[in-house]
Amino acid sequence: MTAQALDAEALGILLDRLGREATRFRFEVAPNPCVGAAILARGEVIGIGYHETYGGPHAEIQAMEAARQSGIPECDWDTIAITLEPCSTTGKTPPCVEAILRTGIRNVVVSQLDPNPDHEGRGLRLLEAAGLQVRVMDGIARLKDVSPHFLRWMANERVRRPRPWMIAKWAQTMTGQMRPPADVGQGRWISSQESLEEVMLLRSKVEAIVAGVGTVLSDNPRYTVRPPGHADTPPARVILDAWLRTPLHSKLFDAPAEGEQAGPLYILCLPGSNAVRYRALEQAGATVVEIRGEDRKHLRLLDVQSWLAEMGFKRVLLETGPTLLRNYLDSGFVDQ
């Protein structure tokens, strides 16, 4: 049976369901699109999967793993239905096109092409060249419904001047305070233990953490990943420090404890900052980077964002105090 001969109504219902279910993981995968996939054998769905975590397995791979659990051999798989064209290049994971070609799948049905100009149609052309039947069912599980964040990501100026997907995290009291009152004794945090653990999981799912030197001076944070979080590659720690005020005794320079993961440390400063401090911070283990200033006191956030993108940091956590947080929000750089 060819892709064109498959029951269009049933496929449409399946793709619509996959699209709706995939949206559950929007904030876990952003800026990547939400994608769902299903494996069929003789018209029956035997495995469903979704892209659930940024940097994690794609929906096609998840669906294949679920199909293997069904006990039906791969040589009997005949169709894969996907809400978006499968990837054909290696990123954080291998190309899904290659994984499809290693199975018995002969029909590929997708809701639409990947709008990224670097990929649009390429995956389907490779599948067709290998002899597979390909069908595009436009109008079902549309990206504007399933992954509006991805369309905005592709459509706005980031295509011309890339910027990372910024996740802002902060804690505040019911009265809007970001620090505990002075009369609470030794209590340092206004966050609960559960939310602190959630932060560790969040840190493990980004490629960089951005903070201001004010937070470094007041809180002396490490910005490491600790259990229950675990990262294959711990996120880089990026400190915005216009005049190189980061103390050499800061915990940022401490060796990670057992079970703790520390990414590389970058300190971003204005051109012409103190040369002695520059050398001392680099000798302590930081990489110091000069960034153009908005004025003689502040770094230009647009250039910070461009630098992050140039470094390959696509998903970034903003974990800082109220001043830098407000500047990021006012600049329109916060996505989540």
- Determine the residue type at 133: Q
Residue 25 carries which DSSP code? G
Active-site hit among 60, 85, 207, 319: 60
**Rg from Cα positions in the chain:** 23
Residue 125 near residue 153, CB atoms below 8 Å: no
d(CA 21, CA 77): 23
Could you give the strand order of the β-sheet that contains 165-168, starting from the edge strand earlier in sequence? 165-168, 315-318, 208-212, 236-240, 265-269, 287-290
Backbone φ/ψ region at 223: left (φ over 0), alpha (ψ -120 to 50), beta: left
Say which amino acid occupies 147. Answer: S
Q: How far is CA 28 from the centre of its chain?
A: 7
Q: Is the peptide bond before 31 cis (omega within 30 degrees of 0)?
A: yes
Alpha helices (H) along the chain:
8-22, 26-29, 59-69, 96-101, 122-129, 143-146, 148-155, 193-203, 213-219, 275-284, 301-310, 322-331
Q: Give the integer Cα–Cα distance in Å for 54 and 86.
A: 16
Beta bridge partners of 289: 268
Residue 57 identity: P
Beta bridge partners of residue 328, listed in sequence order: none
Question: Facing residues of 129 across strands?
Answer: none
As a whole number of angstroms, the distance between CA 125 and CA 134 comes to 9
**Identity (one letter) of the amino acid at 240?**
L
Active site annotation includes 60: yes
Catalytic residue annotation:
60
